[in-house]
A and B are shown apart, each in its own frame.
Chain A
């Protein structure tokens, strides 16, 4: 018991308390602002304006610093789960496509669609890419392994925001990748940044490229532990390279794959930097991006809205991880018994 005390304390302070604080905050909204009519004058003339009566608003805040209790109101409003809008769309629509289109136009569902698509496309493909790179490098002669490993790790070494900015400039219509693609497809109006579909494709490909190395590193380390005698006996039995990968290496690496999958699911669910780097806000947003834009508003932050989106993100991560956690739990129990 004494052994886990420090880490339990750290988890309480750094993980549990902030989550509880965000959860509490998501149930409140700001107090009704007390407004006063004022005349304001600028170099361009005077206008009748409204300003916040600071003293009166401060007094409200002093009595109830958390704000006004709103229950799950923020969660259900149009900028989050939009329950009443969804109800209206489901009860009156002209077909499935119309309903889906209108739901997709709601900010939360738009962010959720891209987040889920990114998570479920990038996670398996990046793991596959990492595995293939690991297999390829494992077969290389020793003296070039070092440099090749270094180059394979580059996408992970580059800061995601910087990496996406670099690629963003390269796919510009006048830049090397963009212009080359226009040449290849013989279409001067081909702009990767213009259409929603192409923007998604670019973000997904970028995600796979940048996430591949993590899987590669873990799988490469795992490959070093594959028992050589099993491999050799498989070869004596006449197993081809494909059979050895399928029947010996993959089962051996399966627990590792669970681990990588779990980390990557969590990582990809909070996709954010590529959207900013690729200036893709018009075509793709994610849950993390919604939180960012609430907190980085023009000059006022919507803390409560951001807190609600954060809670929904946490719920999303938990739902995603349940299958993986159940699997880990079963394996753990098997080992104990």
Chain B
């Protein structure tokens, strides 16, 4: 996979370097430095942004999984260490809380002719970020395995359980399912996805009071546990990457994987062509007759730091407009489901598109959501292991969250 990734990146670099000399970003001078997470789509944008570099324009990018620990201190400094921060639903929350972002409306009026209204992330009427792609977890399944078991492609989690049972009973695979259930980020995300599919609300409207101790919470936990019956016994140590590796190894028939790595999974030149060619990407399963895909929708976008000079902010915005131009999106159709004007999604984006079109809910952009996510991860492991029942687990999640929210000054 590393190899393929390397190849993709170098091809991308090759393609772009051909046009580098022609890149006219309209910037004459300035410093642009980008802080971002590290995955395919963001690499494409950072590379495109670097095309704008010239003798007078400096463009640098720091792409790291540790971005979340760097962003608040780096943008709090004056002048800020980075002019542009790539953000998502959750990572924008601490930057908004700290008042570290610059409203972008004036720049949009000046340079944003290619932007579409739905790309603008607005808080209280002010644009604080501009989104360039969407992401979500959704269903990946092996058509060949389901055919062999004689079951229809699953649409709901009830179908997923039935299909898993058929595959197991026929002896095709001992553990047909995989999920990222490792306590830490992943387990919390799994609960969030299913709870959104149940149609639940996390908080009472307009405040930080938790509202998951209800029937939907109970059903979510029960479903999570039912699913684990068809997973490898050490499912509590699987994060999203290990889940993908297990799927690519052909040991799993269905998984709730990330749209951002769909491209590497269905790549027939990838590590396991047989899995790739038989993989179908579908919307995240719904639950019962709810009709809401059990997934949280994510957007990735960029924001501009407040504590920088107006000239650098101007240059940063223009460079980003070049980086996320429709032409860049069109040149990299496999990298992500881009939100740019006129983009035609490729085969790797089918799952995310179907999930979004099914009206899945967005991951909440609330300042205290992170505390809940951590509390979920801390407490659900015991429930899945069977040492706690659902009622006690929900009460414990609430107690854990309340203690943390008190320390954080929310309650």
B partners with A: yes
Residue positions of A touching B, CB distance < 8 A: 29-33, 35-52, 54-55, 57-58, 67-68, 74, 77-79, 85, 101, 105, 107, 173-174, 188-189, 191-196, 278-283, 293, 296-300, 302, 304-305
C-alpha spacing A302/B94, complex, angstroms: 13
Q: How far is the CB of B100 from chain A (nearest CB, A)?
A: 9
Query: What are 19 A-B pairs with beta-carbon distances under 8 A?
Result: A39-B124, A44-B134, A44-B297, A45-B362, A47-B362, A47-B364, A49-B366, A51-B96, A55-B99, A77-B406, A173-B234, A188-B174, A192-B234, A282-B384, A293-B374, A300-B370, A300-B408, A302-B404, A305-B407
Establish whether residues B122 and A281, one from each chain, have CB atoms under 8 Å apart when the complex forms: no
Establish whether residues A283 and B236, one from each chain, have CB atoms under 8 Å apart when the complex forms: yes
Contact of B396 with A by CB under 8 A? yes
Q: How far is the CB of B158 from chain A (nearest CB, A)?
A: 26
Segment at the interface with A among B113-121, B139-147, B328-336? B113-121
Segment at the interface with A among B14-22, B26-34, B178-186, B319-327? B178-186
Establish whether residues A33 and B407, one from each chain, have CB atoms under 8 Å apart when the complex forms: no
What is the interface residue range for chain B against chain A? 35 or more
Contact of B403 with A by CB under 8 A? yes
Q: Which chain A residues lie closer than 8 Å to B399 at the CB level?
A: 78, 85
Q: 4 nearest interchain CB pairs?
A: A54-B99, A298-B370, A30-B409, A194-B233
Establish whether residues B131 and A33, one from each chain, have CB atoms under 8 Å apart when the complex forms: no
C-alpha spacing A174/B175, complex, angstroms: 13
Establish whether residues B184 and A281, one from each chain, have CB atoms under 8 Å apart when the complex forms: yes
Establish whether residues B131 and A305, one from each chain, have CB atoms under 8 Å apart when the complex forms: no
Q: Which chain A residues lie closer than 8 Å to B373 at the CB level?
A: 298
Contact of B166 with A by CB under 8 A? no
Establish whether residues A78 and B400, one from each chain, have CB atoms under 8 Å apart when the complex forms: yes
Best-buried of A50, A105, A192, A297 by chain B (most CB within 10 Å): A50
Contact of B102 with A by CB under 8 A? no
Instruction: List residues of B (339-396) whose CB comes within 8 Å of A's CBs.
Output: 339, 356, 360-362, 364-367, 369-371, 373-374, 378, 381-382, 384-385, 387-388, 392, 396
Chain A, Cβ-Cβ closest to B249:
A174
Q: Write out, one digit per residue, whether chain B residues 81-114 have a CB within 8 A of any chain A CB (1) or not (0).
A: 0000000011101101111000000000000000
Complex partner residue of B97 from A51, A281, A283, CB under 8 angstroms: A51
Complex partner residue of B409 from A68, A74, A281, A282, CB under 8 angstroms: A68
C-alpha spacing A162/B130, complex, angstroms: 39
**Apart from A79-B404, A281-B183, 14 more pairs, CB < 8 Å:** A29-B407, A30-B409, A36-B124, A40-B121, A42-B121, A43-B118, A50-B207, A51-B124, A55-B99, A105-B382, A173-B234, A282-B384, A299-B370, A300-B94
